[in-house]
């Protein structure tokens, strides 16, 4: 190989590497972690796996979600009975929405036009218009609601009710409960498959995950082998579901085709994994460890931890990724 050929080859390799880095950064730019005792949100650069910013929010930040266009993060601040709205462009709170009851979890509708906030103590879901930042409706659901998720078209919202042991199905146009699905004991986290056909629910007290037909609510499969499962996320291609086991400090990886557990990943002894989110391209899963004060970064192709971000915040409890 001549010197000129070697230089040309080096340029090609460097260009390919740069393009890969740019593509990876574009698909995995940031993750956001709420720190309930620190009253702030950590911004994680997922390209470098480093803490890039710490944003003060209202008291008691719990659940959070990123808008479909990636421009804002809504944070449920339970102690303050408010929602802090963060601009991802400035990493600053741009609005605070007052609520009549403490919300612990929030989720954007697929269009991004609304946010649903779950209030366990009041057994209601509050519907917020994201354009005006005004409360448009309050919907009564079951006892001690824990989590909410939407079908892909946004016509249905599914709410787990921890104490009622069921799932409220909301017509998002009528803003009313139209049916109730029976679940196992202690339904907490919920996720809908990308095709909208099935709903996955973690049942904390039963140590199970139930898979429901999204239309009828019938349980098509009950999965076992979990230890106080408290959070769930489904990969963008719908092939895997990821479940945190709070009391075992592990993450279970489920095949949605066979319903088998593909892997069980330890996030550290006694670290208390509280929340899991998957990157937009499905290559990474992120697990918040409350007692470990850390964020585990998992390579989903190999089901292995590739990085652990230490001291991510004071008692981190939830994580959300930028679409």
Q: What average pLDDT does range 118-135 have in this prediction? A: 98
Average pLDDT along the chain: 92
* Number of domains making up the chain: 1
For position 100, what pLDDT does the model report? 96
Q: What are phi and psi of 291, to 5 degrees?
A: -75, -25
Q: What is the pTM of this model?
A: 0.91
pLDDT, tens only, 15-53:
433 433 333 334 458 999 999 999 999 999 999 999 999
pLDDT, tens only, 194-208:
999 999 999 999 999
Residue 267: give the domain boundaries: 3-321
Q: What average pLDDT does range 220-233 have in this prediction? A: 98
DSSP structure class, residue 302:
T
**Interatomic CA distance for residues 233 and 43, integer angstroms:** 20
Q: Give me the residues paired with residue 129 across strands.
A: 114, 134
Name every residue whose Cβ is closer than 8 Å to that of residue 236 and which is 6 or more positions away in sequence.
Answer: 194, 278, 280, 281, 282
Structure tokens at 256: 């949605």
Q: Note the maximum CA span of the chain.
A: 75
CATH assignment of the domain containing 67:
2.130.10.10
For position 23, what pLDDT does the model report? 39
Percent of the chain whose predicted confidence (pLDDT) is above 90: 90
Confidence of residue 7 (pLDDT cuts 50, 70, 90): very low
The label of the residue with tokens 């139930």 reads 210
Q: What average pLDDT does range 309-318 have in this prediction? A: 97
**Interatomic CA distance for residues 60 and 81, integer angstroms:** 9
**Interatomic CA distance for residues 48 and 307, integer angstroms:** 10
Structure tokens at 141: 């659901």
What are the angstrom distances between the C-alpha of 291 and each of 202, 288, 311?
21, 9, 10
Confidence of residue 144 (pLDDT cuts 50, 70, 90): very high
pLDDT, tens only, 64-87:
999 999 999 999 999 999 999 999
Q: What average pLDDT does range 266-288 have in this prediction? A: 97
Q: What average pLDDT does range 267-295 have in this prediction? A: 97
pLDDT at 248 over 60: yes
pLDDT at 107 over 90: yes
Closest to 232 in 3D by CA, of 272, 287, 279, 271: 287
Q: What are phi and psi of 20, to 5 degrees?
A: -60, -45
For position 10, what pLDDT does the model report? 37
For position 323, what pLDDT does the model report? 80
**Interatomic CA distance for residues 67 and 133, integer angstroms:** 13
Q: What average pLDDT does range 133-161 have in this prediction? A: 98
Least confident of 4-13, 139-148, 164-173, 302-311: 4-13
């Amino acid at each position: 190989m001549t010197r000129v050929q070697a230089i040309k080859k080096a340029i090609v390799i460097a260009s390919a590497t740069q393009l890969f880095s740019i593509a990876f950064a574009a698909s995995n730019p940031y993750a956001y972690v709420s720190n309930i005792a620190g009253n702030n949100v950590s911004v994680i650069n997922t390209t470098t796996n480093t803490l890039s910013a710490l944003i003060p929010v209202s008291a008691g930040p719990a659940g959070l979600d990123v808008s479909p266009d990636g421009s804002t993060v809504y944070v449920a601040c339970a102690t303050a009975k408010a929602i802090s709205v963060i601009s991802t462009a400035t990493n600053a709170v741009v609005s605070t929405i007052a609520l009549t009851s403490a919300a612990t979890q929030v989720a954007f509708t697929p269009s991004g036009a609304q946010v649903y906030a779950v209030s366990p103590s009041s057994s209601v879901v509050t519907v917020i218009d994201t354009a005006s930042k005004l409360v448009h409706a309050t919907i009564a659901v079951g006892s001690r609601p824990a989590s909410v998720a939407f079908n892909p078209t946004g016509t249905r919202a599914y709410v787990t009710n921890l104490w009622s042991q069921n799932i409220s199905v909301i017509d998002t146009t009528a803003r009313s409960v139209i049916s109730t699905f029976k679940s196992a004991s202690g339904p907490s986290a919920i996720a809908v498959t990308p095709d909208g056909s099935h709903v996955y629910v973690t049942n904390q007290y039963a140590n199970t995950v139930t898979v429901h037909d999204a239309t009828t609510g019938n349980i098509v499969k009950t999965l076992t082998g979990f230890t106080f499962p408290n959070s769930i996320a489904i990969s963008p291609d719908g092939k895997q579901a990821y479940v945190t086991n709070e009391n075992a400090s592990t993450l279970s990886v489920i095949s949605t085709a066979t319903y088998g557990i593909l892997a069980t990943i330890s996030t550290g002894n006694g670290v208390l994994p509280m929340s899991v989110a998957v990157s937009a391209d499905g290559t990474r899963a992120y697990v918040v460890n409350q007692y470990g004060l850390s964020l585990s970064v998992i390579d989903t192709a190999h089901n292995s931890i590739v990085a652990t971000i230490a001291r991510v915040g004071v008692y981190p409890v939830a994580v959300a990724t930028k679409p």
